[in-house]
Structure 1
Amino acid sequence: MADPVWEDSLTYTGLELRQSDSPIVMSDGTAMGSRPGVRPGDTGLTTSLAGSTINVSAGVATLYRSGQGVYRAAMPASTSPGSVAAAHATLARIDLVYLRVWDTDVDASGLRKAEAVYLAGTAAASPVAPTPAGTQIYIPLATISVPASGGGSPSVSTAVRPVTVAPGGILPDTALASGYYTGQYRDNSSTGALERWDGTAWRPWSSATRGIAPSGYTTGTYTGQYRDNTTTLSPDRWDGSAWTTTEQPTGSVYNASASLASHASTYFAVTWTGLRSSNRTGMWSAGNPTRLVMPVPGTYLLDGVIVWPGALGSADGRGEVRVNGAAVVDGRVNIGRGSVGNASAIIGGRVIATAGGQYVEVFLNQNTGSTVNGLICNFGITRLTANTS
């Protein structure tokens, strides 16, 4: 049976009181756990150096040990836990300054007090900060980087000092890999964003409420979310499984050495040897080499060129653009008449895709009486608008 605190005639153990204090400190994600640390913006318990003397300013903090509850500690005056140990002759070292609570019921120290402690590290080629041994109840306050002898003065970093807030508070901790609960917020000092833990990842508050997500987010929060793309300088849209650029679909294909049989009236589709560029997957494939696919409905601009070789002679080279196999009036290839040199024919016009996945092809005709080789063909489409009429 548990004793509720602050009731007359009841007596309490220290453990009962510490565990009863757990609700006033942010949870660490466990049933009775708490996150230890100093308060955000609190300048107390700051470590500094005066020569080799270590100083820790007055301040307050909460400490936690599993099964033992919350220890609230206050240092009413500045203190010095000692002096920095002498530097190693050739190797660097990292030392640790920490706030310790002695509780003889837990650590068998025979003491009940709180104090700043200095612990020298081990000199090494790649030094790391030491870890207090045994059952010590503590939070780190600072590390002191000590260069090898003659390498300069020691320097202090307070980056290791944890910060805690009241339950539901905004935690200023960029390093927290996972949130303690869905709906937790944190201030990300690296990005300047207020972020919410959605149970899987930290999401900027703006994107969690249908705002633009930063460029680094590999997955969207919901279908229809937009992301800033710093490479294309156009937003991406999350379609539920992938980010899709909102740039208008565009793609171009080529064949630098096409052949065209001779026929009085039959037109032959140009076989494209590859994509020159595309911002949508599936616009061209080797399985359907004559087709350039229009991935979404809309009106598309045609552009391209056919360079007829001198073998065309005095014959005409004709062409047309077809959508799904049917010729379109506004998609002609200019007639190119050959000579001893080459002649260019421009592909121009507009075509309409009434549904995504429809395709365009370029068909050519020549009637020289023999196959003409060495045609240079380039063809591209770009959607102008979603209009299909």
Structure 2
Amino acid sequence: MKHRRILLFAGFLLPLTLLFFSFDKKLPEPFMTSQKDTLPQFARAKDHLGKNVANSIGLVSLSTGIDNSYYLQDSQNRVGYLYLETKIGRYVSDLAQKNPLNISIVLDRSGSMAGEKMDFAKKAANDIIDKLGPEDFVSVVIYDEFIDVIQPAISVLYKDSIKVKINKVKPRGSTNLWGGSERGYEQVKANYKKNYINRVLLISDGNITAGPKIPSRIIAQVQAFKDINGISISTFGVGLDYNETLMTDMAENGAGNYYFINRADKMAAIFDKELYGLLNVVAQGAELRITLPKGVTVEKIYPFQYAMEKNEVVIKFQDLFSEDIKGLMVRFRIEDAYNTALPFFTRLVYTDNTTGEPKTILNENILAPIKNREQYLASFNKTVAEQVVLFTANENME
């Protein structure tokens, strides 16, 4: 679910973006922005002739684009943006060949979940149990300041006995969100199987009052479980006063999905969507690798955590599901001394779940130096520019 937090504001921001792109105002020159600027300076664009590069194999596609086809020679403080998007077509697996699930339901039982929130959460957990089959494994973890495993990992043969345990949960105490999440990860890890979909499903309002509280440290642990142990996480925000930023960041960096539950009648559709995706894996072990040209350094990547291997950016997506879309933005800087063509190579590497064969999609984007200012101003990429506005506005709201 791409750009979850900002899409609500897209109706306002995109017209604002187009307004900026349409008028030649006396604003700072392009590629002369500071990191504190809310919006990059595309305001003097004369046209948007820049294009994306797109390639696909079967249902899997990769699109990449740079905010401008050129960069100005002999200028300083040059910053650019590379937008990348993976998109999966609709796929329905043969039920006899689907990947079984190994999941842990982590349920927040803290005092802040009292009332309607707890009713939502327990119904959500029961809905998940109802949709699992005997080949799947499930565990149930509940937490306040204390963490309890009320159902250790078990094959889903007797659904009613699991649901009885869930229905007995009562709200109480503080919120040790990471303690509960970590125990869910441990349950999945203990039963980890490579051909299974291994995921934690966290149902919470995300308001931490006990245990680890620093979001960046929690996100680092989420990423470690994804990268090292191959376990993803989806988060389900309950109620109107939940911690949206933390819950979304956990899902985005944990290779899962984020959902908002504010009405009981929405839950069936929400969990149908989540479990439909889990049951219809298209690409497994997916990694995005961006080879940077000499003279280019990464300043920031939105919204995913990443690793650097020499001059290569590595982002581990893990599994990609039917109709899944993942978008990310790389903000990079060009060294002042460079005035040569800069090739960016992006590879999406994965195993095709339908054949078991390794696949690689390769895109090349070339950023060329130019002295002709008019040609430069006509060569912005409108699609990328709009995504830059979305990502940077989202960052400023956090």
Q: Give the TM-score range, shorter chain.
A: under 0.3
Structure number with greater Rg is 1
* Structure 1 or 2: more helix by fraction: 2
Name the TM-score, length of structure 2 as normaliser: 0.22
- Larger RCO: Structure 1 or Structure 2 (Cα < 8 Å, ≥ 6 residues apart)? 2
